[in-house]
């Protein structure tokens, strides 16, 4: 029901999947992919947010590459050029802000796994464009956000059984955010890493996912990004 779009990314073209609510109006969200690439699960999340009244765009940070192999995904993540990814994220933000139907003229980022860390990174790099961040169990060892630059609140969803981003790592990030004077809300779930991914039955937790979804929508509303609830307009 959504569609692929192209946008300018600092002198070159970027691509992403865009889902728009019926009527074409709503807050803008950047959905930041996991290490698998721009797969159907991420596209589906764009659709889910559009049903809630958001204009959601998932930039393709791997530029067409995707995989179902953890080993290959790890290689794609580590090969990601963070500077180029930043261009894609900024381009996606500018694209959304430039759409007539997007209001306010800032966006929020929502990222998962690798994308959770990149969502936070984007909020730090482009505080004039990004006014709120939702980080689902973010991890990327090469990404070090400058938290002092954040201009909006952060919501963190983490898992108690997560070996990649264990609770002590998550709590250290929360402490850094609070020490920097930033507003942060954090929740821990008795679940595994990637519990929100309903295409992975070995780790998906339906109850935790439902609660995290409700908390995310409430957080975005409180942060000034309130979706009105709608059906998708293809």
- The CATH number given to whatever domain includes residue 39 is 3.40.50.1820
96 falls within a domain: yes
Pair 16, 60: CB distance under 8 Å: yes
127 falls within a domain: yes
pTM comes to 0.95
Extract the residue ranges of the chain whose pLDDT is less than 50. 230-234
229 falls within a domain: no
227 falls within a domain: no
Distance CA 92, CA 62 (A): 14
Per-residue pLDDT tens digits for 130-187: 999 999 999 898 899 999 999 999 999 999 999 999 999 999 999 999 999 999 999 9
Q: Alpha carbon of 143 to those of 73, 100, 121, 172, 182: distances in Å?
A: 17, 32, 7, 15, 19
> What domain count does the chain have?
1
- Write down the mean pLDDT value for the chain: 95
Domain containing 55: what range? 3-222
102 falls within a domain: yes
- Would you state the pLDDT for residue 161? 97
């Amino acid at each position: 029901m959504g569609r692929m779009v192209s946008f300018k990314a600092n002198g070159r073209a970027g691509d992403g999947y865009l889902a728009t609510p019926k009527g074409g109006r709503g807050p803008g969200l950047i959905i930041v992919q996991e290490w698998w690439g721009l797969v159907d699960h991420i596209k589906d999340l764009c659709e889910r947010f559009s049903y809630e009244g958001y204009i959601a765009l998932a930039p393709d940070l791997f530029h067409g590459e995707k995989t179902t192999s953890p080993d290959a995904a790890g290689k794609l993540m580590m090969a990601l050029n963070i500077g180029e990814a930043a261009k894609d994220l900024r381009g996606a933000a500018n694209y959304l802000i430039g759409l007539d139907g997007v209001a306010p003229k800032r966006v929020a980022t929502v990222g998962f796994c690798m994308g959770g860390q990149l969502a936070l990174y984007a909020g730090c790099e482009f505080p004039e464009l990004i006014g709120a961040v939702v980080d689902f169990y973010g991890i990327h060892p090469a990404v070090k956000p400058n938290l002092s630059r954040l201009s909006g609140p952060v919501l963190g969803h983490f898992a108690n059984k997560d070996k990649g981003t264990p609770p002590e790592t998550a709590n250290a990030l929360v402490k850094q955010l609070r020490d920097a004077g930033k507003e942060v809300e954090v929740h821990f779930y008795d679940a595994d890493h990637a519990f929100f991914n309903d295409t992975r039955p070995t780790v998906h937790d339906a109850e935790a996912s439902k609660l995290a979804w409700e908390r995310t929508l409430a957080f975005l509303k409180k942060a000034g990004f309130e979706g009105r609830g709608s059906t998708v307009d293809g």
